[in-house]
Structure 1
């Protein structure tokens, strides 16, 4: 069944079309027979569909007019509210259908009830009263739509043809979706002046000992933060100060949070304090005698007393310490006793054009000359604001014709007179987005300002809201393509990427972009700060997405009034799951009585040990995050959340078991159980979760009956063919036969890229262990492999067939006497060998399996890093051939090896000459706790001259 997608769209065409589609589907379902018993429901549904069709065509016009016409904005908000309610009814309907299906399947297992399974099932969950409630909701929605359609006619809205805009989400690789602008254009003089002020030492000792505050003042979007980062990261500053501290300051100034952030930056550990005086004392202790640069970024409202208290403790730093402040308000800079205030002005036309063109033509440099004239006109409209040039440059990347560029130049948005949050470049970029991307973008307003948004987590939240269904690709792939497009359009910044793949892993929103998103979600999305909770609670009856920020050392919230319509609820806190449960909080069971339509619930980092059974009442829940809590177990009622797609239990390090009924969660796609060391058994029902994409680890228990009969076996992996990313197999030593291991069918799981195999406990004899390992052959797509505590004497043959493998770790495989021919792996970049106690010699078999010369010309062609650790019986490392003279001369060994590390190899006498040639690029050699090697390769040792060409050598 299609899932409702575009409920939001910031009220675009996709919203209405999807509601119409949903109603068509719902009306055709078997369960419809039950609801048609309520007279008139079918007619009501048809009427709603017709009215939605009427408003569908004019929504784009209404969206654009809402900025200048508050009446149109109110009309749109009313329509959006109805759309949410329609979605809620559809969710109820679909859940009822799902319950009916489950109940029918359960009844079929009881032969005596087969003939009567349908009728009892209906009345078990869907009484006439329940059906009547849904029918009344549909009738009320119809009446509200009548009024909305009637009011809309007064605005004389017209249809705007958006052409192929809705299909213009371009799949692209994540590595190319972001824009890297290394230079800060037009700020060279500003940078030099500020660095001079920060680094200069005065001759007067009294002045030198006084803490100096230097402020950058400018409008939002002027580039204050970017300039401050450039200064913070400069070599001149790094050499001048022993401590560099960066703190994003919330508005209003939170003195406890700022003090804790300073301490965390210096001590590398977050202090667990809530009292201001305690936090300030820690600041004084951390900075005492140290010369530091503290950057306080984006200071807004600040109380003089709060600043003076912090400043007093900052003065305990060494002479020459500085504070660099960025703020929009010059009065704030003066109140903070700034010794120098640097006004940041607009960019020149040329610098603005340089920045704009660097982004706009990043993928089509050949078109720069053709579009330059019109491009310069567009860049001048940015009025010297770097953020505007950056944003509009991202938009122009998507325009490939002069007509498209001309439309942007002539847009009425450049003449926009309205809220200051609505900058013309942002408006142009926003309305150029397909409707599906608009809803994904404005959903980000639920995150607090300056918050680092995790990319994968955001995609799962989009999925929970129904934004990603209906596409040709997998929902997760669709979400990644949407995110790439938004990044390419410059809606996000401070991008962090995975070092290996280049995929964006997390990012931030500029505060102006965040304000812009909040403008479109003002009446549906709210962030509640500790000091304003009561005020928001009383005014949030129609709020759909709520983020409640817990104050330090405050109890879990208990007031949930006006939460009936919430679709997202996040209690943001920062407590890690403690190793010893001393201070815990409880989730009030009333929470789940109030949030009937909730789709995403995040209670991570809240010191929760118990989740109430009443969680089952949040039946529409698709996303549940309980990570970093000292939970000991989950209630069985979690298994009644039929719609759940994502269950996050990361770092729940007290968790010992999962609910036995977890197999009922047939829609579950992501089960994240990383860092759950005490979770030593998984229920056998995991085998029924055939839609799983993420399964962090799979624990195999041994035989013996009892409770173990319900535990997972290796064969339970058989039908989990959609697994992707990373999987850790634990307890492989409990697998008794190769035939059982083969049933896991790892070879078919092509989405698995990282695999960890832990063969503890070592209960099998050598040959059985070898056969089991051979039967666990993964798919050839594997990129990373870890084999740990493997007890066989020979490694499985399939290792050398993994042609895409880039990283290999072999740990504690104590019985293995010979390494496989790993030199044949064409893409292997990093190899780690540790505690292979039976290995005495690394010979030419390590390079290739064929002893004849000429079979391969390069061994380890891509290997960059090789680590050999705790090989206590390794005596010889000989990579030359044992054949006749000249044998092996054509073999090029590890031609791009850059880092070689050896540790605790006491018996190894010498390193292979082939790796130490002056023609090789080896730049780092580390020898640690290797007794014989230390004597030979230390300064003055017999072999020291053979490594003198290596740039970094450490022998200890």
Structure 2
């Protein structure tokens, strides 16, 4: 069994104590007259447990202690077997009222009694090296971006909600370089000159507020502190910090007790605004306990940076290029070290040592899984339950075991002991994809680029990836003769995702038409859809059939000439029932937008419509947009914008169009902001339009070269704008009268 497995004894004994106190077991023991034996074993186990915490740590350096623990583990398992046999027999008798048939086999001593009652009860102490602020690395690799981000936080003159001090936690697994990063920032010249005072305190697992406070005080004053009274020490530190901007590093913090933290933090309030506290920890819960809104998550460095570190120590100041064979060997060593777990185990052991006893055995149980095995939270919790590893403490006695197990799992995850493989975004750019493994079945975001082979697209089997929420399909942006329109259509057809997809982007697709699955109403969860730079497409799919679609953008669809019935979906009486935002952009050949016609109710929920850079569009826009709140049209030089009834329209922006007219009975009474810019044929605002602008608060007219009058046939036009707050008229060179 692994060292971590051996070290699980402390938590294991908690389970044994729980079983020994079982009412059913005690009743059965009285009946069988073995109660005194159980009591004797309970006393022995209590004495063993008293030295286990230190023994588990000591075994890392002492082989004799490790042997002792191995034997003790075997004995503990035998005790558990006996207790399980008692419990089984007690349950059998309760259910069947049959004669007792217990099996009694135990190991009595294993030469452990002397260790329990004699010298072995002396507590072992391990030495734990503390950190300092002094640089001990000749050069640090792979942390430039992290350092820049931390320096920005250090030098930013921000203030937290309730004090002058901002807490900045650095969180990451053991050995990843949290202390090194903190040291880099602490000794940076810009930081040195920015703060009046600096202090560095190594905290570790013993969060002694008195010790930490005195250490901070001594670092600042450079004098020993012999005060014994906590209040006096607090006051002395408060005075030392008074009116000064300080930087404090608390390295290697494990404590999650908010009361202890609050007691320490109270002394920080004496500092000046802009003071900072850097806190390094492996546990995200420790970071969040400080009350900060976020933390800096530190990841492992790249393989290239690992090589730089290796070369620095292996070659010192020598020219690496002079030793090409050694460089090849060295890089292989670096790669093997990256894959080897030998350097991780000491760090993992230390993380394990700081676990609460109820988590130790749950974590150790994971040693039964083979290397690389991926398990689900729920699956693991059920296994813990089946093994009797989840024992509710008294304060959680009414808590469901599944919920307590999930709490254990999340705690191990927050301590960076579990590395949750929860992939959110996957980009496969420039790869010859042959298969997407089943292991990405719960992938949320997937981006595929340049999949050109039909067989490979089929083998990707996206339709089976039921957890996929977001899919982005990208082709090369160059449209040359090497691209086969039919092949690209077949590839896209084979890349059909599961119908629970929520967001879809298709970019630079080279087919003339879209496959049938694009726009199928079976995609009932599709909320966001973008078609971008599909320059060869001459028709649009029936997107009006997507009942949950809320956001639709079509950009660079430069071969589309007509948007009509095929866009809505043939015979669909209520197309786009949920659409809220619609965008057309850079559709250079688009000439006409054909509405559905009488009896149809298109776009009942549309709130925002944007049409930009559609230079050939010239016909009228749909007239029944009764929910529209914002309309923006720009660079549609052939378009005469005919404003229909838009009762909820609040904001209207028209730029670089041919003209603006108002349909006779059109209602736009909610409009409060109007911008008209570079309208080529606009000579005045039609009387009907001017009369409809009674609630406009902001009116801006810019660059309308033909504008002569503000309103047509109106002697006092400004009286129509009864709600006007801001009026801007610029670069309208022909304007000579507002009447």
TM-score range, shorter chain: 0.3 to 0.5
Instruction: Return the TM-score normalized by structure 2.
Output: 0.43
Question: TM-score, normalization: structure 1?
Answer: 0.35
